[in-house]
Amino acid sequence: MTAPAADLDLSHIAPRDQAEILAQALPYIRKFHGKTLVIKYGGNAMTDPALQQDFAEDIVLLKLVGMNPVVVHGGGPQIDAALNKIGKKGQFIQGMRVTDQETMDVVEWVLGGEVQQDIVGLINAAGGKAVGLTGRDGGMIRARKMKMLDKDDPSIEHDIGQVGEIDSIDPSVVKALQDDAFIPVVSPIGFGEHNESYNINADVVAAKLATVLQAEKLLMLTNIRGVLDKQGELITELTARRIDELIEDGTISGGMLPKLAGAIDAAKSGVNAVHIIDGRVPHALLLEILSDQAFGTMIKSH
């Protein structure tokens, strides 16, 4: 997974076209220079070796042209694979993973160990300087046990174990790394008042971190083209009100719910743009940030 970065082969593109491509990127490089971009890394982009390579190169390039990428990663499939190895089946309620103590132990070593270090290695092999963090590092993510009410009967509360809600995020360790030209890679694990660990939805962590860092953009890589309507067509722009309507009529459900809830909160809290983009597209990050092509759904606060 940490193979040396391959040089981009541009031999099929005429030199004049190469120059044109670079020139078109210039306004975006200027616009976002010095700005923080929080990127939620998940889906196929995390499991397909060619897309992993593209992602690492994109992150390094963004850093080299003066932007400040911060990566927050998930790891659902990797957690499921690890649980299968110990004969344990993952259980979900309303899109959230039920996390007992044994599952939490697995989550910590998969996310904070294996997955995080793979991403750090990929970025470093591509020429960057990545550093892995969990919510414990620098006291970054303080959390409490999530109370989950049944969506059909709010008088019923589901116990989903060590799944956390964020109390607060202290971004000082992330800022210190950014100032030293490092690329932070954050695992979505928080800690409680008694030093207990909490599994937190990575979309929620990315959205909250983007808000606290006053990020210019929050970009969420996913396995679909973006938010789709009932006919399966891409919705390129969404507002909070429209999202409520789509949840109400069942167009949006399951794992997309926490993703969109976090996106709306971030947009309302000052993050200039939130994008849900198709991580299956090679170099999706560069295409979204350095061109005027729309590769997914943009969410605005109103």
pLDDT confidence of residue 5? 41
Radius of gyration for the alpha carbons in the chain, expressed in angstroms and rounded: 19
pLDDT confidence of residue 44? 74
pLDDT confidence of residue 9? 57
Q: Does 76 appear as a known binding residue?
A: yes
d(CA 79, CA 156): 28
Q: Is residue 17 in some structural domain?
A: no
d(CA 260, CA 17): 37
Residue 164 Cα to chain centre, angstroms = 17
CATH number at residue 94: 3.40.1160.10
Q: Is residue 11 in some structural domain?
A: no
Q: For every residue of 79-102, which 3-state class applies, written as one string?
A: HHHHHHHCCCCCCEECCEECECHH
d(CA 292, CA 286): 11
CA angle 242, 248, 250 (to 5 degrees): 105
Torsional sign, CA 99, 160, 95, 183: negative
Q: Is residue 10 in some structural domain?
A: no
Q: Is residue 208 in some structural domain?
A: yes
* Cβ proximity of 58 and 281 under 8 Å: no
Of 40, 42, 116, 104, nearest to 76 (Cα)?
42
Q: Is residue 196 in some structural domain?
A: yes
How many folded domains does the chain comprise? 1
> Would you write out the chain's pLDDT as a tens digit for each of its 302 residues?
444 444 455 567 777 877 877 888 899 999 999 999 999 998 778 888 999 999 999 999 999 999 999 999 999 889 989 999 999 987 888 877 889 999 999 999 999 999 999 999 999 999 999 999 999 999 999 999 998 888 888 899 999 999 999 999 999 999 999 888 999 999 999 999 999 999 998 989 999 999 999 999 999 998 888 888 888 888 888 887 888 888 888 888 776 777 788 888 888 888 888 999 988 988 989 988 988 776 788 888 76
d(CA 59, CA 216): 15
Q: Is residue 168 in some structural domain?
A: yes
Q: Is residue 6 in some structural domain?
A: no
Of 223, 289, 254, nearest to 61 (Cα)?
289
* Cβ proximity of 281 and 219 under 8 Å: no
Domain that holds residue 104: 34-300
Of 212, 184, 174, nearest to 123 (Cα)?
184
Q: Does 75 appear as a known binding residue?
A: yes
Q: Which residues pair with 69 in a beta bridge?
A: 37
The amino acid that residue 237 corresponds to is: E
Q: Is residue 160 in some structural domain?
A: yes
Q: Does 199 appear as a known binding residue?
A: yes
